[in-house]
């Protein structure tokens, strides 16, 4: 006998749901304070639950399961508190869960005394596994229990005409229940309720209590059920999925395609075991397709922080929409693509006829209170474009394109060495260490440019410089102070060099502004080495940049020589 078997799909050959498209939002129901709370290692205190409840109403939930009032004194008192302190907005239905047992139903109504609008939610397990082996009953006995409970609930509702009370019934383990029996018990319960109208429909909640089937099966079951249920116009078909196989969002989306009207879930998927459906993900998926949801997640970071604090449970880094890393691109090609398109966002949007079309970001992070600034972070996978972007964004250092590869290689090597992400401050430090103040044999003591007496455009230069600690005097000339300086320094290394056209940039504004010069030195052997100088005076910035470039070139040459020596020694030893 095999240990596992694929659950038999429902027989639905002419299924319609695969070609349907979800075009409007379902009714949203939060079960955070019941299913979510009961699964927390440390359930919330009444004050914490109240804060959570306010958060849910602020987001826009109109149906909120607040408790299992008969299950604990805390849940009972919390329900009473909401009612007695008039904490429930007038358009919000609170929901209380109960088993189909007479004293628990009575206790639920006690908790609901004086409630303006509410939903009594009764459930009973309908799978044969539960019926026979947990409760030791038959299907018929289970059906009768559910019908009796429904009649009792109806009587109690009739006795409280001042409250607008609705009824929800859940055949627990619906997806592990014989569909014919699920249909039979739901029909019997609907008829026993007998109060459903078009305006005040009954709610039939068909849960995947444990995710045992692929999402396609769930959708088939929902479509199968809806097609056969005889009172479709007077029920809201509700779905309630758990995430045991990690597919609950897909299952819920397909259940909506199959005709479900209402969705139960929790913020960030809190709930038993792997959790309930994450309503944030589900609702924002619809938002990303242009469907208004009625839920306000425009400050998702605040919602996430509040829920993390109240539940004591962190949100996973990669949780869709809310995880810390979900609007972050590490990979260089992604960074580059995002950066390019963000820069010409309007033009791209016009071309595609939508407000947002950006590679690797399917929604605009600012819709949900996230920031662009966190999109690009740097590690060994990052490209030169990302490094340049962070230097510009955080430090106003705009390195020329030709220099990006050199900077990128250094950052990548560093990240490989430390085996982690490189933060923005480290990036600046690396940039300064390698390009602005690199170690090397040369230390400039002074440079004195002097215009020629006859031709002031012609400059004579004198340089005093320490080379490995020994002072040398050098002279040279050129058609400007920078070219005269370059001329003075020829011969310091074993190859002559020229200065390619260099870039200047102002860093900061007003009296505090400094000039940055990015200077490429091209050597006779074709190598190009960049140096960067920063100074209040632009000529001084260029001079510093040339010195930095020469020191870098000297160090690179020494490194090259020592590596060649190492290689030849190893070869000789073999």
Taking CB under 5 A as the rule, does residue 75 contact Zn ion?
Answer: no
Q: Tell me the closest approach of the beta carbon of residue 309 to ligand KIV, in angstroms.
A: 25
- Out of Zn ion, ligand KIV, none, what residue 76 binds, judged by CB under 5 to 8 A for its kind, is none
Q: Residue 35 or 336: which CB sits closer to ligand KIV?
A: 35
Stretch that binds Zn ion, among 34-42, 401-409, 436-444, 491-499 (CB under 5 A): 34-42
- DSSP string for 113-142: TT-SEEEEEEEEE-SHIIIIIIS---HHHH
Q: Tell me the closest approach of the beta carbon of residue 132 to Zn ion, in angstroms.
A: 22
Summary count for the chain: helices (H), strands (E): 18, 15
- Out of ligand KIV, Zn ion, none, what residue 519 binds, judged by CB under 5 to 8 A for its kind, is none
Give bridge partners of residue 265 from the DSSP assignment: 30
Place of tokens 């459930």: 123
Q: Residue 35 or 336: which CB sits closer to Zn ion?
A: 35
Exposed e or buried b for every residue in 257-269, given b needs 16+ CB within 10 A?
bbbbbbbbbbbbb
Question: Which helix or strand (DSSP H or E) is residue 28 part of?
Answer: strand 27-30
Q: Residue 152 or 170: which CB sits closer to ligand KIV?
A: 170
* Residues 398-437 interacting with Zn ion (rule: CB under 5 A): none
* Residues 501-520 interacting with Zn ion (rule: CB under 5 A): none
- Out of Zn ion, ligand KIV, none, what residue 172 binds, judged by CB under 5 to 8 A for its kind, is ligand KIV
Q: Where are the beta strands (DSSP E) in 314-372?
A: none
Q: Tell me the closest approach of the beta carbon of residue 162 to ligand KIV, in angstroms.
A: 27
Measure the CA–CA gap between 90 and 79, rounded to whole angstroms: 16
How many CA atoms within 13 Å lie on the side-chain side of 344? 9
- Out of ligand KIV, Zn ion, none, what residue 123 binds, judged by CB under 5 to 8 A for its kind, is ligand KIV
Q: Residue 35 or 223: which CB sits closer to Zn ion?
A: 35
Which residues lie near ligand KIV (CB under 6 A)? 35, 97, 123, 170, 172, 205, 207, 209, 240, 242
Q: Tell me the closest approach of the beta carbon of residue 209 to ligand KIV, in angstroms.
A: 3
DSSP 3-state of 378: strand
Q: Residue 126 or 335: which CB sits closer to ligand KIV?
A: 126
Stretch that binds Zn ion, among 28-36, 68-76, 330-338, 544-552 (CB under 5 A): 28-36
Q: Tell me the closest approach of the beta carbon of residue 90 to ligand KIV, in angstroms.
A: 26
CA neighbor of 448 nearest in space, from 543, 548, 517: 543
Q: Tell me the closest approach of the beta carbon of residue 38 to ligand KIV, in angstroms.
A: 9
| Structural tokens at position 275 | 């959790």
Say if residues 278 and 30 touch (Cβ distance below 8 Å). Answer: no
Q: Tell me the closest approach of the beta carbon of residue 274 to ligand KIV, in angstroms.
A: 12
Q: Residue 208 or 411: which CB sits closer to ligand KIV?
A: 208
Q: How far is CA 373 from the centre of its chain?
A: 14
DSSP-H helix ranges across 229-344: 248-257, 279-287, 300-311, 332-343
Measure the CA–CA gap between 274 and 268, rounded to whole angstroms: 11
Q: Residue 122 or 532: which CB sits closer to ligand KIV?
A: 122
- Out of ligand KIV, Zn ion, none, what residue 253 binds, judged by CB under 5 to 8 A for its kind, is none
Q: Tell me the closest approach of the beta carbon of residue 153 to ligand KIV, in angstroms.
A: 15
Q: Tell me the closest approach of the beta carbon of residue 255 to ligand KIV, in angstroms.
A: 14
- Out of ligand KIV, Zn ion, none, what residue 193 binds, judged by CB under 5 to 8 A for its kind, is none
Taking CB under 5 A as the rule, does residue 35 contact Zn ion?
Answer: yes
Q: Residue 174 or 224: which CB sits closer to ligand KIV?
A: 174
- In whole angstroms, how far apart are CA 344 and each of 332, 349, 360? 19, 9, 15
Measure the CA–CA gap between 200 and 167, rounded to whole angstroms: 9
Q: Residue 35 or 220: which CB sits closer to ligand KIV?
A: 35
Q: Tell me the closest approach of the beta carbon of residue 289 to ligand KIV, in angstroms.
A: 27
Q: Residue 209 or 415: which CB sits closer to ligand KIV?
A: 209
CA neighbor of 528 nearest in space, from 556, 505, 504: 556
Give bridge partners of residue 238 from the DSSP assignment: 205, 262
Stretch that binds Zn ion, among 27-35, 195-203, 251-259, 418-426 (CB under 5 A): 27-35
* Residues 281-310 interacting with Zn ion (rule: CB under 5 A): none
Say if residues 186 and 168 touch (Cβ distance below 8 Å). Answer: no
Q: Residue 170 or 415: which CB sits closer to ligand KIV?
A: 170
Q: Nearest 5°: phi and psi at 475?
A: -130, 160
CA neighbor of 97 nearest in space, from 75, 130, 128: 75
Q: Tell me the closest approach of the beta carbon of residue 416 to ligand KIV, in angstroms.
A: 47
Residue nearest to Zn ion (CB): 35
- Residues contacting 21, CB < 8 A, separation 6+: 257
Question: Which helix or strand (DSSP H or E) is residue 517 part of?
Answer: strand 514-523
DSSP 3-state of 547: helix
Contact residues for Zn ion (CB under 5 A)? Answer: 35
């Amino acid at each position: 006998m095999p240990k596992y078997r694929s659950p038999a799909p429902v027989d639905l050959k002419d299924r319609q749901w695969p070609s349907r498209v979800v075009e409007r939002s379902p009714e949203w129901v939060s079960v955070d304070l019941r299913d979510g709370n009961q699964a927390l290692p440390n359930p919330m205190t009444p004050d914490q639950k109240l804060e959570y409840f306010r958060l849910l109403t602020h987001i826009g939930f109109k149906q909120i399961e607040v408790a299992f009032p008969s299950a604990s004194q805390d849940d009972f008192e919390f329900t009473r508190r909401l009612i007695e302190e008039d904490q429930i907005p007038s358009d919000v239905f609170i929901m209380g869960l109960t088993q189909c047992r007479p004293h628990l139903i009575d206790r639920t109504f006690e908790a609901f005394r004086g409630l303006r609008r509410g939903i009594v939610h009764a459930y009973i397990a309908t799978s044969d596994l539960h019926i026979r082996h947990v409760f030791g009953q038959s299907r018929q006995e289970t059906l009768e229990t559910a019908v009796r409970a429904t009649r009792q609930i109806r009587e109690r509702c009739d006795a409280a005409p001042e409250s607008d009370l609705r009824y929800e019934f859940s055949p627990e383990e619906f997806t592990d229940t014989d569909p014919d029996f699920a249909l039979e018990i739901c029909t019997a319960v609907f008829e026993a309720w007998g109060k459903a109208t078009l305006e005040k429909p009954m709610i039939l909640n068909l849960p995947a209590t444990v995710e045992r089937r692929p999402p396609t099966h769930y959708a088939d079951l929902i479509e199968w059920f809806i097609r056969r249920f005889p009172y479709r116009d007077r029920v809201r078909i509700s779905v309630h999925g758990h995430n045991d196989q990690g597919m609950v969002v897909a299952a819920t989306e397909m259940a909506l395609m199959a005709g479900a009207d209402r969705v139960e879930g929790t913020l960030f998927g809190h709930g038993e075991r792997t959790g309930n459906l994450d309503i944030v993900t589900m609702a924002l998926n619809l938002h990303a397709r242009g469907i208004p949801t009625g839920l306000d997640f425009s400050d998702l970071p605040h919602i996430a922080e509040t829920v993390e604090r109240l539940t004591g449970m962190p949100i996973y880094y990669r949780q869709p929409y809310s995880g810390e890393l979900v609007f972050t691109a590490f990979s260089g090609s992604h960074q580059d693509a995002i950066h390019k398109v963000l820069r010409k966002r309007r033009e791209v949007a016009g071309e595609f006829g939508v407000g947002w079309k950006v590679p690797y970001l399917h929604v605009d992070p600012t819709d949900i209170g996230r920031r662009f600034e966190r999109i690009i972070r740097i590690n060994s996978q990052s490209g030169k474009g990302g490094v340049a972007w962070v230097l510009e964004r955080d430090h106003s250092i705009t390195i020329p394109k030709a220099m990006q590869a050199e900077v990128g290689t250094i950052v990548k090597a560093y990240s490989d060495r430390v085996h982690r992400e490189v933060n923005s401050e480290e990036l600046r430090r690396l940039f300064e260490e390698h390009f602005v103040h690199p170690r090397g044999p040369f230390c400039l003591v002074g440079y004195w440019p002097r215009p020629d007496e006859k031709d002031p455009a012609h400059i004579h230069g004198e340089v005093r410089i320490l080379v490995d600690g020994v002072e040398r005097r050098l002279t040279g000339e050129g058609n400007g102070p920078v070219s005269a300086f370059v001329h003075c320094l020829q011969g310091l290394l074993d190859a002559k060099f020229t200065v390619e056209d260099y870039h200047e940039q102002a860093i900061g504004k007003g009296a505090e502004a400094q000039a940055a010069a990015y200077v490429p030195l091209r050597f006779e052997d074709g190598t190009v080495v960049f140096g960067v100088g920063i100074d209040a005076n632009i000529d001084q910035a260029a001079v510093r940049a040339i010195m930095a470039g020469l020191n870098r070139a000297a160090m690179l040459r020494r490194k090259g020589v020592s590596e060649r020596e190492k290689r030849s020694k190893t070869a000789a030893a073999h």
